[in-house]
Amino acid sequence: MRGRLFLINLLLLACIAGAAMELKKLLEETQKREEMVRANSPKLPTAKGVAAAPNVEKTTPANYLDIATRLLFSRDRNPVVEPPPPPAPPQVPAFPLAYGVLMIGDPPTVMLSEAKGKPQKGYRPGDRVGDFKIVAVTGADVTFEWQGKNFTKTLGELADKEASKLLASAPVQAAPENAPASAAPAAAPTVTSLGGGSTADKQGPGQVVTPSMKQCQPGDTTPDGAIVDGYRKINTATPFGFQCRWEKVQ
């Protein structure tokens, strides 16, 4: 039994020795091949210094304006941007129509109508008529405000032209033919203070308008030019008719 084990060990040692011999031969052959390859390999030239690459400019849209301008097939590439036209300013609306001024109180009251065919109404500064606000009223003109702008119009500019034409075309009673041409005008009568009485209830000056002016009472039949209590009755022709007032005699 021991003899067999001894033989087996000898065989194993022989196999290991043979394997070692073969491995050594392979290593020697491999080294020879590497030396042959290195010996036959071409020699590479030595690398020379290379100049630095130039800096590349950044791309900017301004460099392509010429291309965009000459592109005939696309109008939206036009570099010239045209802004839309500004909106047209709003037009001032038509001004109200004026039919007279009542010199009652301070400030006076102007009779206006928003438009042709609409009813008349009395307006004072601060009131609104249509799109306008009344700023000031005098005996000759009216100042309106519209969108922060003031417009001053005379009563003649605001007058109803058709009503003025009708008033101008009204027939005027002619003087009698047998009246003397050189007759002197009658002197203005002077009336004393009217204390009472049924015939003088609506005659004489009315309420005080200014320190030197009083208003006429409705239905006053006092003749034009008469002097009552130191005030003279005056009728002034206007485009809206006759305007009555009493002025203090100086």
Instruction: For 138-185, write each residue's pLDDT tens digit.
Output: 878 899 999 999 999 988 888 877 655 544 454 444 444 444 444 344
Residue where a domain stops, chosen among 163, 180, 215: 163
pLDDT digits (tens, 9 = 90+) for 228-239: 888 888 877 665
- Is 50 among the domain residues? no
- Is 135 among the domain residues? yes
- Is 49 among the domain residues? no
Could you tell me the two tokens for 243? 């305007």
- Is 91 among the domain residues? no
- Is 31 among the domain residues? no
For residue 93, whether the previous peptide bond is cis, meaning omega lies within 30 degrees of 0, is no
pLDDT digits (tens, 9 = 90+) for 84-140: 889 888 899 999 998 888 877 778 888 898 888 888 888 999 999 999 999 999 878
- Is 23 among the domain residues? no
How many domains does the chain divide into?
A: 2
- Is 14 among the domain residues? no
Helices and strands, counts by H and E, the chain? 4, 13
**CATH number of the domain encompassing residue 134:** 2.30.30
Q: Residues for the chain: how many in total?
A: 250
Is residue 244 within 8 A of residue 234, CB to CB? The reply is: yes
- Is 220 among the domain residues? yes
Alpha-carbon distance of 166 to 112, in angstroms, equals 18
Q: What is the distance of C-alpha 153 from the center of its chain?
A: 24
Sheet with 227-228: strands ordered across: 190-191, 227-228, 231-238, 241-248, 213-216, 205-210
Tell me: do 152 and 205 sit in the same domain: no
* Burial class of 130 by CB neighbour count within 10 A (0 to 12, 13 to 18, 19+): middle
Domain enclosing residue 243, as ranges: 190-248
